[in-house]
Structure 1
Amino acid sequence: MGRVVRIADGDTITVLDGINAQHRIRLQGIDAPESNQAFGTQSKKNLSDMIFDREVTVEYEKTDQYGRLVGKILLDGRDINLEQVKTGMAWHYKEYQREQSPVDRELYARAEDEARNARRGLWAGADPIEPSAFRKEQKREREEAK
């Protein structure tokens, strides 16, 4: 349990715990647009509007290669990660879906399908680019510029 003190982007936050230790959290099961990508700003704002300066619970089992806890954020029992997908502000991160429970995998996949079909959020665009593909393209462009 802790208070959300920073929203880095649509899938990364910082939580301050009861002993004033800060923890960077990567939201499990979702991949939000990068800050410099279409809908990156909207995704961050959506997450901020839901949880900034609020007390949340973080359910986690692992740390990623950047030292962030990878977990599910709960606000009053509501799955905030899932809310990002439902509102069309993030993709269900299928590359890491094996780390989710079977129930969460199904819920997140269904939420993405529903957001896509309703053209909510990033799905309103003609051809949204998944953040993982966007990151790879950015990396390729940086390497070519050298």
Structure 2
Amino acid sequence: MIRPALHAIIAAILAATALACSAATFAGEVVAVLDGDTVDVLVNRQTVRVRLAAIDAPEIRHGTRNPGQPFVQRSRQSLAGMVFHQNVIIDEEGTDQYGRAIGTIWEGNFNVNAEQVRRGMAWVYRHYSHDPKLLQMEQEARAERRGLWADPNHVPPWDYRHSR
């Protein structure tokens, strides 16, 4: 009788440990802003590429035949204005298929990911997030035609990627 209970306790401890290890918080200086949802952060003399969680910004140019999406530079500039050469904290949620850390970037108590959405510089990435606060920010940006929402022909990045 004690054995199954002991196994259950051990399994619960291992599961909790695995969850705790799958996410991390780290700090560093943003040394590059690649686009509206990707930055390079210098952490202990190592560069870590970070993809902002829960949002998707306009796609940047890839190759010579793909000019990129409208607002890609404004989105990048918006992000750079908040974090370039700033010390930030990243709440990492994991890594993506390209090896980038996925996380929320904090500049002080300021959620940079959410601010990109509020400014109309990124969409809520619905495949990965259903956060009601982010969705509300996006709806308000859309209603006020902020940023990319000023373009009547805006195309979400996930649709843009599939059309190439």
Q: CA deviation at 1:8?
A: 0.7
The answer to whether residue 62 in structure 2 is matched with residue 37 in structure 1 is no
Q: Distance in 1 between matches of 2:93 and 2:38?
A: 16
Q: How is 1:46-65 mapped onto 2 (pairs within 5 angstroms)?
A: 46-65=78-97
Q: Which amino acid in 1 is paired with 2:47?
A: Q
Q: Distance in 2 between matches of 1:48 and 1:8?
A: 9
Q: CA deviation at 1:61?
A: 2.1
Q: Which residue of 1 aligns with 2:40?
A: 14
- Larger CA Rg, structure 1 vs 2: 2
Q: Distance in 1 between matches of 2:48 and 2:80?
A: 16
Q: CA deviation at 1:97?
A: 1.0
Deviations 1:8-53 (A, max 9, x none): 1000000001x21110000000000012100001000100011100
Deviations 1:87-124 (A, max 9, x none): 000000011116xxxxxx01110000000000000000
Deviations 1:74-97 (A, max 9, x none): 001100000000000000001111
Q: Distance in 1 between matches of 2:120 and 2:93?
A: 26
Q: Which amino acid in 2 is paired with 1:133?
A: D
Identity of aligned residues (%): 42
Q: Distance in 1 between matches of 2:93 and 2:129?
A: 14
**RMSD of aligned C-alpha atoms?**
0.8
Structure 1: unaligned runs, 5 residues or longer: 99-104, 139-146
- TM-score with structure 1 setting the length: 0.88
Counterpart secondary structure, 1:33:
coil
Q: Which amino acid in 1 is paired with 2:32?
A: R
- TM-score with structure 2 setting the length: 0.78
Q: Distance in 2 between matches of 1:94 and 1:108?
A: 10
| 4+ aligned runs moved over 6 Å, structure 1 | none
Q: Which residue of 2 aligns with 1:130?
A: 156
The answer to whether residue 103 in structure 2 is matched with residue 78 in structure 1 is no
Structure 2: unaligned runs, 5 residues or longer: 1-26, 61-67
Counterpart secondary structure, 2:129:
helix
Aligned residue pairs: how many? Answer: 131
Q: Which residue of 2 aligns with 1:93?
A: 125
